[in-house]
Amino acid sequence: MLIGSRQRVSHSLTAQIEGHEIDRVLHPKFLGVCIDQNLSWSKDVNETAKVISSGTGALKRLRLFICEDTAILLYRAIIEPHFDYCCPVWDGLNNELADKLQKLQNRAIRVITKSDYHSNATFPRVKLGWDNRYIRRKKQKLKLMFKTINDQSPENLKGLFKPFSTDYGLRNIENKLALPKPRPGDIFKRSFCYSGAHL
């Protein structure tokens, strides 16, 4: 697999070992997450969306027979884990994919609260005390960053980050991380090691 921007990753590039060309893959699945060569996460979001839609459909059919509290429990058991799975890694979504996930959450909220299909989901979401998907992904990433900084995560994660250092006697730099300097438009900005340090 070759990873890079659409402009940099050429379809004519090949890799060989001892003269034998290696088959190229565009979006392998690794631990349940589809990684594509441009790190756009579109394949993974589309696969996740199918599962979430199916779960929401099942919840809608059951909602006639269960109370709201039970519907929330089912949402947390069969739908929310798909939103959250590895989201600190694939959080660098474009607006179109982020909106797609938010619309799926909105649909589930309308099912749970028996709201009209065309109604705004913000009020019922706030009433439930839930974050929107964007905020929840950031919180999940911050939790992982907290664990990483405080030696509560695998050692290889901590190796992705460097502590902030300066020659000046600045205050409040404890636990701050150095932010890598990507080039403008660089795909590296979508990576966990950049966005985690930035957060």
The reported pLDDT for the residue numbered 63 is: 95
DSSP state at residue 169: -
pLDDT tens track for 65-117: 999 999 999 999 999 999 999 988 888 888 899 999 999 999 999 999 999 88
Give the count of beta carbons closer than 10 Å to the beta carbon of residue 161.
18
CA–CA gap between residue 92 and residue 44 (Å, rounded) = 12
pLDDT of the residue at 189:
72
150 burial (CB, 10 Å; 0-12 / 13-18 / 19+) is exposed
pLDDT one-digit tens code per residue, 117-169: 888 999 999 999 999 999 999 999 999 988 888 888 888 777 777 777 665 55
Please tell me whether residue 17 adopts helix, strand or coil conformation. Answer: strand
**pLDDT for position 98:** 93
Nearest one of 58, 13, 65, 71 to 37, comparing CA atoms:
13
CA 46-52-54 angle, 5° bins: 105
Burial grade of 17 (CB within 10 A; 0-12, 13-18, 19 or more): exposed
Q: Where are the domains of the chain?
A: 16-166+174-198
Extract the tokens encoding 121: 């989901």
Do 193 and 161 form a contact (C-beta atoms < 8 A)? yes
* Strand, helix or coil for residue 125: helix
